[in-house]
Structure 1
Amino acid sequence: MTTFPEDLDPTLVERLVSSGGGALAKKMGIEFLELSASHSVATMPVEGNTQVVGLLHGGAHVVLAESLGSVSSAIHAGPGRYAVGIEINASHSRSVTSGIVTATCTALSLGRTLATHEIVIRDEAGTRLSTVRMTNMLLEQR
């Protein structure tokens, strides 16, 4: 069950709940557990998200991280604004072949026009698998 900050834009909550976080996040089995601008957590199964030799696909790590970083940035942007990714980089340090991975997103900088987050992905034993840094531009809705 996802926990949302009390002051979260109700329109964003409705979009998150009704879409399951978006079509790709839903397809990959991503579950959002905690959501805020400064700290968010999500999980994803390894099964169904592997590459040809059975390892969790590096792109799956990035999809998990970007999904979490984007939502955290959208929360920071607030009502009448939205977030668009402008930079992402990932360093994969370990592999995993089964289980559930957990991503923890921490704000590095929350500004008026940019939000930067670090997303750390770990396996069930708590071993760091990937470190991702993402920057979103915050824009006014038209």
Structure 2
Amino acid sequence: MTIWKQALDLVQANDMMKNTIGETLGLMITEIGVDYVVGTMPVDKRTHQPMGILHGGASVVLAESLGSFAANLACDIGTACVGLDINANHIRSVRSGLVTGVARAVHVGRRTQVWEIRIADEADKTVCVSRLTMAVIDAV
């Protein structure tokens, strides 16, 4: 059974990335499951830090983008979710290719949500694990 209270398809989801940091970094939402969201981001000059590896901040952008998107799908009509806190543990470096993030709910409440986002490389080795806390607010 799905946890989503809003309905979006992949085309609509990716249209929301236009004119955002997600578009700038090449982020794409690739799957909306019954209780998770999957997205990818290239590891290239847009997402590198000076040593030529994936920038930790780019990983956090992917994590927050996926978690925030998922949180907003899971909130009631008339409400929206905004970020309260995010942390990230950077486990492994990546120099090139594509990283994939999977956002899964830890807690979906009336006033807060907590999401865990695992980012992996093309060999499915963990690159980063992030936890995102969202506040549920009245939609503006």
TM over 0.5: yes
Instruction: Report SS of the residue matched to 1:63.
Output: helix
Percent identity reads: 35
- The residue aligned with 1:68 is 66
C-alpha contact (below 8 Å) 1:83/1:137 kept by paired residues: yes
CA contact (8 A) 2:10 2:29 kept: no
Match of 1:93 in 2: 91
Query: Is residue 43 of structure 1 aligned with residue 43 of structure 2?
Result: no
**Aligned residue in 2 for 1:84:** 82
Q: What 5-or-longer segments of structure 2 have no aligned partner?
A: none
* Structure 1, 15-24 or 107-116: larger mean CA deviation: 15-24
Q: Which runs of 4+ in 1 moved over 6 A?
A: 12-15
Any stretches of 5+ residues in structure 1 without a counterpart?
A: none
Q: Which residue does 1:130 correspond to in 2?
A: 128
Query: CA RMSD for the aligned pairs?
Result: 2.4
Distance in 1, Cα, partners of 2:5 & 2:25: 28
Q: Aligned equivalents of 2:107 and 2:4: distance in 1?
A: 22
Give the structure 2 partner of residue 112 of structure 1: 110
Task: Tell me the residue number matched to 1:27.
Answer: 24
Measure, in 1, the Cα distance between the counterparts of 2:49 and 2:29. Answer: 23
Q: CA offset at residue 36 of structure 1?
A: 5.6
Is 2:61 the partner of 1:55? no
Q: TM-score, normalised by structure 2?
A: 0.87
Secondary structure at 1:89 match in 2: strand
Which one of 15, 18, 27 corresponds to residue 18 of structure 1? 15
| Superposition deviation, residue 141 in structure 1 | 1.7
Secondary structure of residue in 2 paired with 1:62: helix
